Structure 1
Amino acid sequence: MEGTIFSLIPPILMIILVLLTRKVLLSLGAGIIVGALMIESFDVLETIKRIWFTFQELFYAEGSWDLWSIQLIIFLLFLGMLIAFLTASGGAKAFGDWAIHKIRTREGSQYMTGLLGMGIFIDDYFNSLTIGQVSRPVTDRHRVSRAKLAYLIDSTSAPVTVLSPISSWGAYIIGIIATIISTNELTNYQAFNSFIQMVPYNFYAISAILLVFLVAWLNLDIGPMKKHEDRAKETGQLVDPDNDDIPGDLQSEIYENTLGKVSHLMIPIVVLIVVTLSMMIYTGIQASGETNLISIFADTDVNLSLVVGGFVALLVSIIFYFTQNGEKTSFGRVSIEGIKAMLPAIYILVLAWMIVSIIGAIGTDAYLSGLVERSNINVAYLPFLLFIVSGFMAFSTGTSWGTFGIMLPIAGSMAVTLDPSLFIPALAAVLAGSVFGDHCSPISDTSVLSSTGAGANHIDHVLTQIPYAILAALASSVGYLLFAWTDSLLLSLIVTLATLVLLAYLAKQLLMKKDTA
């Protein structure tokens, strides 16, 4: 069954269960079990072994510890404790009190989140988790639902980092492009310049960022988002009261010190940013031996940097906690509640990693990439086809980086063989489709961390984000089809953005008619 159409069964089953039950752990577990059964030809004992070794290899494989996954989990635990101490010190409350006088509208709080997301373009994990801590006190005060906040964070994390050459994503992509250029002996191309040329062809990433600000401006609450936003505005309940599975949110009451200051929130956050960035530069220089930014970010150790930055920021927040007067929750309770807040996110993340491994073993990605290689279409439609297939692959496998690694070399070789002038557009379409699929996938780690940073239920985040992702994808599809017909980048990009604005406006008009009916 590996590498055939049957390899789509585990991800499709998982998606159906998510939609029917809204229980992400159950759905992920079912997908893992079914995929393992298929790989092991329904031998129950071997299936159990496969599931265990899949879990074990997340942390320990081939005689060594997998520090990447361990470090990310450690950082999440540090972050949970940091959130708890920022709350206990009164810093979050003080910042919210201050910001509500500076940012006076719901729209303004959403603009602020979008702009912060565009400003932190170094890494998607770093973006998702940091922006949530700064924006949440403000959006909470303005009764912006946590689902909306998660959408704003997610749509300004991957779309921003995939457009930036000075980021962990940009460095990774440039490295792949360099290999493609070398393999195909393309003497007229350079990896960095090719990446820069790809930016305006990445219609989805550009559209997703623009849509964030359109949503805030038009108060555009489509699909399930309207329910969350209406409840938040009318009752002040920022999450579904019937769902207590909220990663990153404190489940038990922690007393907020009334003597807290804005600096008790901002200084630890600034320390987190400065130390993490410094460590990323340091580890990148140590690994590459070079001092140019592209080499640094190509070899930086993001998760180690996050751990060090999180630890130092946590220490600073603890110092503020101990040096304050007034009533406060005990140190032990604050620490435990912070750790407990992150456990739902860690459970989801571990199971998501496991099913990504299972899906890789069963050959879902190989099957989908094979469809592209076997396709017999008009070469002008290659970018459009790559956008669609990459989107479905990232959606099914939950990884945009994995999709980059598989689809970029295929796209490059196809373009070189069929029409070299499509080399840049084809690669850009892969990036665009990968981010689109990642935005819609419940097993995307970026989506998990965006819901964690926002303090939103993960499935609520995925289901409320999908309509917006589809809106941006429809506009992008129009752009890629127009490019196939006209071969004009400028015209295609303008029409893509104009189509997005038109779709957003029409959606708003339909909502207004529905409300007045």
Structure 2
Amino acid sequence: MRLVTGVLFALALLVSWYVGRTVPATWTVESVALHVHQDEEGKDYFTYKGKPLYLENPVPFQEAQLNPERIHEYNQAGIGPPVQKEFAFKTETHNGEEEKLYYQLTAQRHWRFWSLLPAAVAVLLCWITREPVTALFGGIVSGAFLLGKFDLTEMVLVENLASKDAAGILILYLWMLGGLLGIWSRTGAAQAFADLMTEKFVQGPKTAKLVAWFLGIIFFQGGTVSTVLVGTTVKPLADKERIAHEELAYIVDSTASPIASQLAFNAWPGYVQAFIFVAGVPWLATESDRIAFFFKSVPFCFYAIFAVLFTFLLSIDRSPFLGKKMKAAIKRARETGELDAPDAEPLA
């Protein structure tokens, strides 16, 4: 198995390097209309994430380096555009009055179907090794070679890990949350909780699953936090009642992010609002506008609603849809006490 993994990894790197060196990138341009205002000094600006950004040297659209016609010429010549971002304007006449329409042009590149290579490498490695960390690292290295970034430390790892978002993840999730779970493990808090619930409430697999589902609803602070906290807390309890780890994993995972998006009194709105920013759309211009839009969309998050509902039905053994593998896992755990599949390799 290690030999197969090594050969696949080496072959993926070789193909990524070859494609990056020989296959010319295909360039496209993204054109975003801007809702432009003028300040007291007459300078043009638009609002981005609640802050004003001034237009730098806007040019007529036909003269722009990122004009779609010029992008086509660059692709024909096999070269990239001289700039990556540019502001341009068009002059149009409405009701006898001339109006300038401003656009932000952004150059983007891809390697056609070869762009799927890093994702394919990650999926194949995960399928073969069953180690997500190794698989994801393989996908990262493949993507770096495709982009021509061979210095993984300086050009990939440091560049991305030295950002504010990465620092927040490291401090909050790895250090603080990891430390909390370490304390729970050393003090036996999870086992004590399992003993208490077994004595006071749990009378079988059904009530044990209801405890897991209920804790998933309570810990709605975020998908990752909920998964780790609930999983660590209820695992001893679920093991006592012969609940298959596949079944428990489904309940814990499907009451994590879904409930966090429905009971969104957490970091979820701030996280999602960054993705629904559209430059030039005035009713999504500020962070508060986007958060308000997010809360209005909560009743239409049907995946989250049905995910929480179906995990509840599974907890009370009334699920209308259950796959063959899940049924087999439940039967195996109840009858034999084998909580993991025979060929499973638990990560924890």
Identity %: 24
> In the aligned structure 2, how far is the partner of 1:175 from the partner of 1:244?
37
Match of 1:14 among 102, 122, 135: 122
- Residue type of the alignment partner of 1:68: G
> In the aligned structure 2, how far is the partner of 1:109 from the partner of 1:27?
34
Offset at residue 198 of structure 1 (A): 0.9
> In the aligned structure 1, how far is the partner of 2:178 from the partner of 2:266?
24
Match of 2:252 among 148, 153, 157: 153
Contact 1:14 1:27 in 2 (8 A): yes
Match in the other structure for 1:138: 237
The normalised TM-score by structure 2 is: 0.57
| C-alpha spacing 1:131/1:28, structure 2 compared with 1 (3 Å) | same
Match of 1:68 among 162, 168, 171: 168
Match in the other structure for 1:35: 143
Offset at residue 129 of structure 1 (A): 1.8
> In the aligned structure 1, how far is the partner of 2:132 from the partner of 2:312?
29
Moved more, 218-227 or 144-153: 218-227
Match of 2:196 among 92, 98, 113: 98
Contact 1:106 1:144 in 2 (8 A): yes
Q: Secondary structure at the match of 1:246?
A: coil
Match of 2:301 among 176, 198, 202: 202
Match in the other structure for 1:504: none
Offset at residue 116 of structure 1 (A): 1.8
Offset at residue 149 of structure 1 (A): 1.7
Larger strand proportion of the pair: 2
Structure-to-structure mapping, 1:238-249, within 5 angstroms: 238-240=339-341, 243-247=344-348
Match in the other structure for 2:227: 128
> In the aligned structure 1, how far is the partner of 2:308 from the partner of 2:270?
21
Offset at residue 92 of structure 1 (A): 3.6
Q: CA RMSD in A?
A: 3.2
Q: Secondary structure at the match of 2:338?
A: coil
Moved more, 91-100 or 106-115: 91-100
Please say if 1:183 is aligned against 2:291.
Answer: no
Contact 1:113 1:135 in 2 (8 A): yes
The normalised TM-score by structure 1 is: 0.40
Alignment: residue pair count:
234
| C-alpha spacing 1:66/1:24, structure 2 compared with 1 (3 Å) | closer
Match of 1:222 among 302, 319, 323: 323
Q: Secondary structure at the match of 1:183?
A: coil
| C-alpha spacing 1:145/1:184, structure 2 compared with 1 (3 Å) | same
Contact 2:247 2:330 in 1 (8 A): yes
Point out where structure 1 has 5 or more consecutive residues left out of the alignment. Answer: 41-45, 248-517
Please say if 1:231 is aligned against 2:329.
Answer: no
| C-alpha spacing 1:126/1:80, structure 2 compared with 1 (3 Å) | closer
Offset at residue 240 of structure 1 (A): 4.1
| C-alpha spacing 1:58/1:234, structure 2 compared with 1 (3 Å) | farther
Task: Choose 1 or 2 for highest CA Rg.
Answer: 2
Offset at residue 245 of structure 1 (A): 4.4
| C-alpha spacing 1:197/1:66, structure 2 compared with 1 (3 Å) | closer
Larger helix proportion of the pair: 1
| C-alpha spacing 1:22/1:166, structure 2 compared with 1 (3 Å) | same
Match of 2:158 among 53, 56, 80: 56
Contact 1:59 1:70 in 2 (8 A): no
> In the aligned structure 1, how far is the partner of 2:292 from the partner of 2:162?
39
> In the aligned structure 2, how far is the partner of 1:26 from the partner of 1:57?
20
Contact 2:244 2:330 in 1 (8 A): yes
Contact 2:141 2:152 in 1 (8 A): no
Contact 1:32 1:51 in 2 (8 A): no
> In the aligned structure 1, how far is the partner of 2:160 from the partner of 2:174?
11
> In the aligned structure 2, how far is the partner of 1:82 from the partner of 1:186?
46
Match in the other structure for 1:163: 262
Contact 2:190 2:234 in 1 (8 A): no
Q: Which has the higher contact order (CA 8 A, sep 6+)?
A: 1
Structure-to-structure mapping, 1:429-508, within 5 angstroms: none
> In the aligned structure 2, how far is the partner of 1:85 from the partner of 1:184?
52
| C-alpha spacing 1:104/1:36, structure 2 compared with 1 (3 Å) | same
Offset at residue 192 of structure 1 (A): 4.6
Offset at residue 50 of structure 1 (A): 2.9
> In the aligned structure 2, how far is the partner of 1:245 from the partner of 1:53?
33
Match in the other structure for 1:116: 215
| C-alpha spacing 1:196/1:214, structure 2 compared with 1 (3 Å) | same
> In the aligned structure 2, how far is the partner of 1:145 from the partner of 1:116?
18
- Residue type of the alignment partner of 2:282: E
- Residue type of the alignment partner of 1:54: V
| C-alpha spacing 1:92/1:117, structure 2 compared with 1 (3 Å) | closer
Offset at residue 196 of structure 1 (A): 2.9
Offset at residue 193 of structure 1 (A): 4.2
Offset at residue 20 of structure 1 (A): 4.1
> In the aligned structure 2, how far is the partner of 1:142 from the partner of 1:148?
12
